[in-house]
Amino acid sequence: MISLSSQTQESIEFIADLFRQSKYAVVLTGAGISTSSGIPDFRSAGSGLWSHDEPLEVASLSTFRTAPEKFFAWFRPLAGQIFSAQPNPAHRALAELEEAGHVHSIITQNIDMLHQKAGSQNVIEMHGTMKTLTCTQCYHQVDAEPYIRSFVEENELPHCPKCGQILKPDVILFGEQLPQSAWFKAQREARQCDLMLVAGSSLEVLPVAGLPMQALDRGAHLVIINNTPTYLNIRADVAILEDVATIIPAIMESVKWQK
């Protein structure tokens, strides 16, 4: 059992009370919620993906179009981590809060599908998904699992079963626009919510990083749980600089037992 400071415990109880009073709570998650599941984030010193690679060189749409093998060489270890990862206590706690009616939706910057694996139903994926692949030539879409498994295990690049061209994971690369439907849904949720919980996001990637401001501008409460400060900590009702895999389950338990 992890021991929490009295200040952190008070903050958890305060957040739990916000959830109990809320009629429309929305959660925004980033890479930090999945690190406990073995998936690296992007910006942590030493361990983040961008501490080893230049994103525009390996994860951009232009790189994929001109040198897909370069993208796939970078992507292979990450794909293996994503497909073998399991939800951690933070994912499961959010799914329980949704099932109990305390969370209306989850807006995620992640492509790892761990919220869905944990049981969350209303998940808005802002940066695409690893669930499917789409042909770059004929736009035929396929289930990703068998292709990614062959790619991870045998380094076999995924090719379209219809025309033979390269298949692209349905994730958003640098230089691509966000999925329009997901962006509209996310803005609607931000503008309608009366409570937004930011979990495991540094709030550095626009335009998603602006969603909490849209919630604040309409009078919503804001809670931030992240290992490092964000630009909005000063505006939050409460901000906890600790691991989300510890704090979110504690919030869920407090909501459950202090009705």
- As annotated, the active-site residues are 127
Task: State phi, psi for 214 to the nearest 5 degrees.
Answer: -60, -40
Alpha carbon distances (Å) from 25 to 122, 174, 215, 218: 12, 30, 11, 13
* Token couple for 59: 């994860």
Output the CA torsion sign for 113, 44, 2, 12.
negative
Alpha carbons 133 and 249: distance in angstroms, whole number: 33
Label residue 192 exposed, middle or buried (CB < 10 Å: 0-12, 13-18, 19+).
Answer: middle
* Token couple for 35: 């690190």
Report the Cα 117 to chain-centroid distance in Å.
13
Neighbours of 174 (CB within 10 A): 14
- Which of 19, 87, 22 lies closest to 253 in space, CA to CA? 19
Task: State phi, psi for 147 to the nearest 5 degrees.
Answer: -70, -45
Report the Cα 93 to chain-centroid distance in Å.
15
SS3 97: helix
Alpha carbons 24 and 147: distance in angstroms, whole number: 39
